[in-house]
């Protein structure tokens, strides 16, 4: 990891409490400064999760940071203890996002060819040629769903429109096809 790119946020509890009290009393400049701190803190928190590999891309880091900021902007007048509130909201936003996205983490079939081998454990290797040959044995609908999802990067709703099926039917077929591919490989 390049330590030159690390960004540490320096602020004191006294500073935050002072800004928070001023913002609650109607000081718009204090609210603006406090909002900047909240945004930086949340961005730093989610960036650390990205560095740990728990968040896969920076777009999700930005989205999560924006969610925390928007929640703060909506609820700041109800907050009693800013530090406690912020820690709780950061953690809960991450946990909810992680649970939703944990099941959806997949690798694009094209990217399999370019994966670097980190361990010599044969169980960690992915045989892309075998995946592609098994993919060719699937029905045309299953192949279309897989290709539209991975190659075209389409959402389930868009795939459903193309195939004239319900979104739930497409999702079900997609996840069953993924299981079928796993079993055949």
Report the pLDDT value the prediction gives residue 4, as an integer from 0 to 100: 41
Domain range for residue 144? 109-184
| Helices 167-184 and 156-163, packing angle to 10 deg | 100
Long-range pairs for 173-176 at CB < 8 Å and ≥24 separation? 173/141, 173/142, 173/145, 174/145, 174/146, 174/149
Give the Cα separation of 13 and 29 in Å (integer). Answer: 18
Give the Cα separation of 153 and 131 in Å (integer). Answer: 18
- Position 3 in a domain: no
Residues 120 and 179 in one domain: yes
Report the pLDDT value the prediction gives residue 114, as an integer from 0 to 100: 53
Q: Burial letters for 99-128: b for 16+ Cβ neighbours within 10 Å, e otherwise?
A: eeeeeeeeeebeeeeeeeeeeeeeeeeeeb
Report the pLDDT value the prediction gives residue 6, as an integer from 0 to 100: 42
How many CB atoms are closer than 10 A to CB 73?
11
The answer, yes or no, to whether residue 84 has pLDDT greater than 60, is: yes
31: CATH: 1.10.1740
pLDDT band of 135, cuts 50, 70, 90: confident
Residues 41 and 117 in one domain: no
pLDDT mean over 140-146? 86
Of 11-25, 52-66, 134-148, give the lowest mean pLDDT range.
11-25
Report the pLDDT value the prediction gives residue 55, as an integer from 0 to 100: 85
Report the pLDDT value the prediction gives residue 7, as an integer from 0 to 100: 45
More confident residue, 135 or 45: 45
Residues 73 and 114 in one domain: no
Residues 97 and 30 in one domain: yes
Instruction: Output the pTM of the full model.
Output: 0.50
- Position 5 in a domain: no
Q: Which of 32, 67, 102 is the last residue of a domain?
A: 102
Task: Say if CB 19 and CB 34 are below 8 A apart.
Answer: yes
The answer, yes or no, to whether residue 90 has pLDDT greater than 80, is: yes
């Amino acid at each position: 990891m390049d330590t030159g790119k690390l960004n540490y946020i320096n602020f004191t509890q006294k500073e935050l409490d002072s800004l928070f009290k001023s913002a609650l009393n109607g000081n718009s400049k204090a609210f603006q400064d406090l909002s900047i701190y909240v945004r930086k803190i949340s961005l730093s928190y989610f960036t650390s999760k990205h560095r740990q590999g728990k968040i896969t891309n920076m777009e999700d880091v930005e989205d999560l940071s924006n969610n925390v900021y928007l929640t703060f902007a909506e609820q700041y007048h109800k907050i009693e203890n800013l530090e406690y509130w912020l820690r709780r909201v950061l953690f809960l936003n991450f946990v909810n996002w992680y649970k939703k996205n944990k099941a959806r983490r997949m690798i694009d079939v094209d990217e399999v060819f370019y994966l670097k081998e980190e361990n010599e454990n044969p169980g960690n290797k992915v045989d892309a040629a075998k995946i592609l040959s098994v993919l060719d044995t699937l029905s045309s609908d299953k192949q279309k769903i897989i290709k539209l999802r991975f190659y075209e990067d389409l959402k389930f709703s868009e795939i459903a429109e193309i195939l004239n099926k319900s979104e739930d039917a497409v999702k079900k077929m997609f996840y069953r096809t993924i299981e079928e591919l796993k079993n055949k490989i």
